[in-house]
């Protein structure tokens, strides 16, 4: 297995997020990277750095306005009087759902406060002084791994961080900024006709769903904890099946809170059947480890060994496979989960 990672991905070091009305310490620490690199080392794998910056790969799934915001927000934020230590939104656009609002426009206001609320969709996606270079390189890591798969590597791993699967075409949320999984899947489309995305992070892959919702060339499947009482709350239900040409090409498999590896395995069987029916030529696995029982913000009950089972079921699909790292916040189990998955 080839693996990819860029050292600048560690420079994003968010301070805070908001939870239950309190400002609390961030969960997406750079220590997650050390843990995952430790897992690769145990497997005897040394990751390669991506060759260079490929902004077009990001532009293929995100808007120009959004990417410009991510790259420039920190500098603009410094001009605000009495500003806090991070770019953090405080007000958000409203959509009445009326026909005149059918096209989500770009932010009409100039103010960086406005643009922050437009492009950062919640209080768990703060930007610090060096966040952009991490975000940028995380996406480049995904592209490099996609190119390895396109070049014939049967399996490649992108150690992406920050994560991506909550990022919409024009909005960050949930520790995610550029949707690395979507960037990679789109990149693979240059070499494969039908790409399937299988998201096993404990949270619904709402950004990935949104980006491909009206398309039938990329199948999106997400297995996640029931969003009725779990982030991202507003999406991830079974009724969300795609739109227009994409109708029938999005599958959500919410799991009851407290579900173990056995329940995950049953959902994976359903997903595998769907991927085969779709006739996928290539697979992107959005791999979170926050379904682990010890995850500090988790509600599922998987053990490290269960990620081995996920790995085995992915292998059984027999497809060229790109694994993109998503969440997982129990730092001391990440290496075990990753090695179990890869060995599976």
Catalytic residues: 166
219 phi and psi, to 5 degrees?
-85, 130
Find the binder of a second copy among 233, 256, 258, 316 (CB under 8 A): 233
128 part of the interface to a second copy, by CB under 8 A: no
339 part of the interface to a second copy, by CB under 8 A: no
* DSSP letter (8 states) at residue 244: G
**Cα angle vertex 4, ends 3, 5, to 5°?**
135
Q: What angle, rounded to 10 degrees, do the helices at 64-77 and 131-150 form?
A: 150
296 part of the interface to a second copy, by CB under 8 A: no
99 part of the interface to a second copy, by CB under 8 A: yes
Q: Tokens standing for 41?
A: 């080392």
81 part of the interface to a second copy, by CB under 8 A: yes
Cα gap 334→336, rounded to integer Å: 5
To which residue do tokens 């029916």 refer? 277
DSSP strand pairing (321-325 vs 218-225): unpaired
- Contacts for 17 with CB less than 8 Å, ≥ 6 apart: 23, 24, 26, 27, 123, 124, 126, 175
**Considering beta carbons, is residue 141 or 186 the nearer one to a second copy?**
186
269 part of the interface to a second copy, by CB under 8 A: no
Cα gap 87→108, rounded to integer Å: 19
**Considering beta carbons, is residue 52 or 81 the nearer one to a second copy?**
81
Part in contact with a second copy (CB under 8 A); list of ranges 229-237, 297-305, 306-314, 323-331: 229-237
97 part of the interface to a second copy, by CB under 8 A: yes
Part in contact with a second copy (CB under 8 A); list of ranges 96-104, 146-154, 180-188, 301-309: 96-104
Find the binder of a second copy among 46, 68, 154, 237 (CB under 8 A): 237
Contact 159, 4 (CB under 8 A): yes
152 part of the interface to a second copy, by CB under 8 A: no
Find the binder of a second copy among 7, 55, 85, 190 (CB under 8 A): 85
Cα gap 67→170, rounded to integer Å: 8
68 phi and psi, to 5 degrees?
-60, -40
Contact 161, 138 (CB under 8 A): yes
Distance in Å, CB of 83 to a second copy, minimum: 4
56 part of the interface to a second copy, by CB under 8 A: no
To which residue do tokens 């696995």 refer? 285
214 part of the interface to a second copy, by CB under 8 A: yes
Part in contact with a second copy (CB under 8 A); list of ranges 62-70, 110-118, 145-153, 188-196: 110-118
Distance in Å, CB of 190 to a second copy, minimum: 25
329 part of the interface to a second copy, by CB under 8 A: no
Find the binder of a second copy among 231, 278, 289, 329 (CB under 8 A): 231
Find the binder of a second copy among 7, 23, 75, 318 (CB under 8 A): 23
End-to-end CA gap in the chain: 12
Find the binder of a second copy among 52, 56, 82, 296 (CB under 8 A): 82
In angstroms and rounded to an integer, the radius of gyration of the C-alpha atoms of the chain is 19
Cα gap 253→242, rounded to integer Å: 14
**Considering beta carbons, is residue 192 or 329 the nearer one to a second copy?**
329
Contact 330, 296 (CB under 8 A): yes
Contacts with a second copy, residue ranges (CB under 8 A):
17-23, 77, 80-88, 90-104, 107-111, 113-114, 117-118, 121-124, 126, 168-169, 171, 173-174, 206, 210, 213-214, 227-235, 237, 243
């Amino acid at each position: 297995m080839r693996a990819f990672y860029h050292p600048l991905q560690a420079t994003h070091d968010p301070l805070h997020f908001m939870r239950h009305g309190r400002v609390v310490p961030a969960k997406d620490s750079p220590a997650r990277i050390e843990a995952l690199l430790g897992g690769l080392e145990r497997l005897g794998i040394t990751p390669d750095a991506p060759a260079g910056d490929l902004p077009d790969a990001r532009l293929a799934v995100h808007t120009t306005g959004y990417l410009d915001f991510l790259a420039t927000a920190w500098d603009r934020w410094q001009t605000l009087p009495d500003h806090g230590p991070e770019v953090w939104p405080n007000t958000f656009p409203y959509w009445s759902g009326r026909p005149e609002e059918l096209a989500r426009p770009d932010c009409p206001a100039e103010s960086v406060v406005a643009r922050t609320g437009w492009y950062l969709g919640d209080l768990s996606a703060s930007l610090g002084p060096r966040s952009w270079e991490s975000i940028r390189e995380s996406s480049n890591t995904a592209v490099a791994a996609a190119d390895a798969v396109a070049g014939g590597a049967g399996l490649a791993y992108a150690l992406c961080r920050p994560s991506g699967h909550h990022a919409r075409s024009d909005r960050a949320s949930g520790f995610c900024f550029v949707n690395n999984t979507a960037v990679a899947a789109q990149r693979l489309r240059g070499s494969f006709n039908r790409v399937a995305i299988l998201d096993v992070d404990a949270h619904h892959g709402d950004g990935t769903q949104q980006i491909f919702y009206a398309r039938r060339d990329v199948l999106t499947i997400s297995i996640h904890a029931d969003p009725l009482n779990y982030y991202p709350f507003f999406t991830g239900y079974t009724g969300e099946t795609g739109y227009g040409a994409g109708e029938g090409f999005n599958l959500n498999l919410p799991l009851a809170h407290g579900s173990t590896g056995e329940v995950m395995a049953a959902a994976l069987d359903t997903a595998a059947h769907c991927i085969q029916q779709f006739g996928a030529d290539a697979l992107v696995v959005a791999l979170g480890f926050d379904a682990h029982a010890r995850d500090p913000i988790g509600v599922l009950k998987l053990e490290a060994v269960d990620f081995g089972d996920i790995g085995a079921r992915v292998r059984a699909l027999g497809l060229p496979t790109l694994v993109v790292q998503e969440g997982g916040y129990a730092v001391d189990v990440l290496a075990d989960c990753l090695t179990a998955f890869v060995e599976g």
